[in-house]
Amino acid sequence: MPDYLDDLHLAHVLADAADAATTARFQALDLKVETKPDMTPVSEADKAAEELIRGRLQRARPRDAVLGEEYGIEGTGPRRWVIDPIDGTKNYVRGVPVWATLISLMEAGEGGYQPVVGVVSAPALGRRWWAAKGHGAFTGRNLTSATRIHVSRVGKLADASFAYSSLSGWEERDRLDGFLDLSRQVWRTRAYGDFWPYMMVAEGSVDICAEPELSLWDMAANAIIVTEAGGTFTGLDGRPGPHSGDAAASNGLLHDELLGYLNPRP
């Protein structure tokens, strides 16, 4: 089995470059922001970071395909880098420090492309998380200054911390009743949003999290980090991995109950 460590090292180099570009424009008074056709914002920093990552990948991995939020898919083949240049753009443009660059390498295999490397870098929080298939999940400043992370061992919903992004998406998809029922059963709920709940599941400070509408670039890096930390990452339909258009992540012990509450009931 490939060890993916060279790819992981490259992902860190890409994240370092993206961090420099995004932090340079964070809270800039002249930051340019546009509205995309799906009515979500995109800043000049989103575009610049993705262009930077794509350029470096073209030089370092010219045979690999690249899929990014801002510029779509380029290339073909069994290896595909998946990029979200700024996950949490709404936070970024408002000066909220909860945003990150998400970088994942996916490989074609049984069941389609699956993530084998993931880096989530949140420079405004001073945090970074990463994983490579078969090597575990870590947090730290860099590869040589790292702490291995593991999901929690909380086994009862009554003791669990549940994180989410917002209420509106659950209501739009006729899942709000189950969401509210779940929130009443757990010990604590917090709407941290975006990448952060998944990283907290991976490091054991949150036990379950879920979102009702996502794209592949929102999930690929998160999925490998959660699973390498010993957790479970699926769609709300229970399908493993980041392919369902929505996500549920947990320490594994609470996953079936999580899905049971968040799926529409007859």
- pLDDT, tens digit, 9 for 90 and up, residues 194-235: 999 999 999 999 999 999 999 999 999 999 999 999 999 999
Cα Rg of the chain, angstroms: 18
Question: What local confidence, expressed as pLDDT, does residue 114 receive?
Answer: 95
Give the residue-averaged pLDDT of 63-72. 94
- pLDDT tens per residue across span 128-176: 999 999 999 999 988 888 999 999 999 999 999 999 988 888 988 889 9
- pLDDT tens per residue across span 70-93: 899 999 989 999 999 999 988 998
265 confidence band (pLDDT: 50, 70, 90):
low
H helices then E strands: how many in the chain? Answer: 8, 15
* Residue with more model confidence, 264 or 207: 207
Of 36-50, 83-97, 206-220, 242-256, the range with the lowest mean pLDDT is 36-50
Tell me the C-alpha distance between 196 and 218, whole Å: 11
Residue type at position 1: M
- pLDDT tens per residue across span 7-20: 999 999 999 999 99
**98 token code pair:** 């909860």
Of 107-111, 144-148, 196-200, 249-253, the range with the lowest mean pLDDT is 107-111
- Does residue 190 contact residue 163 with C-beta atoms inside 8 Å? yes
Burial of 87 (0-12, 13-18, 19+ CB in 10 A): buried
| Tokens 């180099």 belong to residue | 13
pLDDT of 62 > 80? The answer is yes
pTM reported for the whole predicted model = 0.95
**High-pLDDT (> 90) share of the chain, %:** 76
**214 token code pair:** 């996502």
